[in-house]
Amino acid sequence: MARGGHATIYRAVQDSVGREVAVKVENHRLENDRDQRRFLREARASGRLSSHPHVVDLFDVGVTEDGHPYLIMELCDGSYGDRMTSAPLSAVEARDLGVRIADALVYAHEFGVLHRDIKPANILYSHFNSAVLADFGLAILAEHRDTSVTLEVMTPAYASPEMFRHSHPSPPVDIYALSATLYAVMRGRPPRWREDVNPGLLTLMELFAEPIPDLPGVPTALIEVLRAGMANDAASRPTAAQMREMLSSVSLVGGPTERAAESRPGYGVASVKARGTAPAPRQSDPGAGGTLRRLFNWPRRG
């Protein structure tokens, strides 16, 4: 299905329950302590959070015979990274998407988990769920702060200024990334990026000094919320709970009706006002190991 620098995603069938799943297999074996910590970080973070309706479901984890760790997750239809390049979201869609993911962050931060790599490609959708936060590959638990992977595998376009300085990780990094993501899915490109070129690392750092421009057709009230979330000073950004409420409070006139909105891929009108009012969490299958019908060949390295 997809291949990245650290992992390959396969489509498979879990024979024990007859459902299609996504299997994320690490491209490298767990050959050292750092790789083991990274895999355990993702497994523990995903396991703690997968009961939330807007976090991807994790069914099982394990290691292949040749040493490649894997995670078995719910299968989704696409990502907002794909969606924004072909059909950028309207202001209403972006606001509602933000409410859902902010609610997931409230839940994550209450557990002491930071995501640290929120971006359009890591927000997925399916026929049954318009937004789930995926890929906790950089996620860290509060009791195991680790800044060693920051510049190596973060996504610079959605990273906050402090991420470039190896600062102690904290919840505001997720707020910045979420705000930058919501701006990007409406614009079709990350904040401040020029239309004709992808900036280098040094240019990206210089862009933090530039203001966040308005977007055509997007009400100023929504842009102001996103500007607050992308404040260069981490202490000035709202918390996840405040961000959720700020987005929920933005009144947008002339948006799509619920029926029209639900007909578009990866979108539905948000009803989340607080975590307590979110839809009932879907039940994970604790015994979901089962036997996977091999619709793929495990990656092997010499």
Q: Residue ranges of the alpha helices (H) in 50-140?
A: 80-86, 91-110
Q: Is the dihedral of CA 199, 203, 208, 210 positive or negative?
A: negative
Pairing mode, strands 58-63 and 69-74: antiparallel
User: Angle CA(18)–CA(24)–CA(27) in degrees, nearest 5?
Assistant: 140
- Cα distances from 29 to residues 5, 36, 178, 289, 292, in angstroms, run 13, 9, 31, 20, 20
Distance, CA of 199 to CA of 185 (rounded, Å): 18
> Is 282 one of the annotated active-site residues of the chain?
no
User: Angle CA(171)–CA(190)–CA(187) in degrees, nearest 5?
Assistant: 120
Catalytic residue among 116, 187, 237, 244: 116
Q: Please give the torsion angle defined by the CA atoms of residues 45, 278, 231 and 173, in that order, rounded to the nearest 10 degrees.
A: 0
User: Angle CA(73)–CA(52)–CA(295) in degrees, nearest 5?
Assistant: 10
Query: Looking at the DSSP assignment, which residues form a beta bridge with residue 223?
Result: none
On whether the CB atoms of residues 97 and 185 are closer than 8 A, the answer is yes
Distance, CA of 213 to CA of 191 (rounded, Å): 8
Return the active site residues: 116
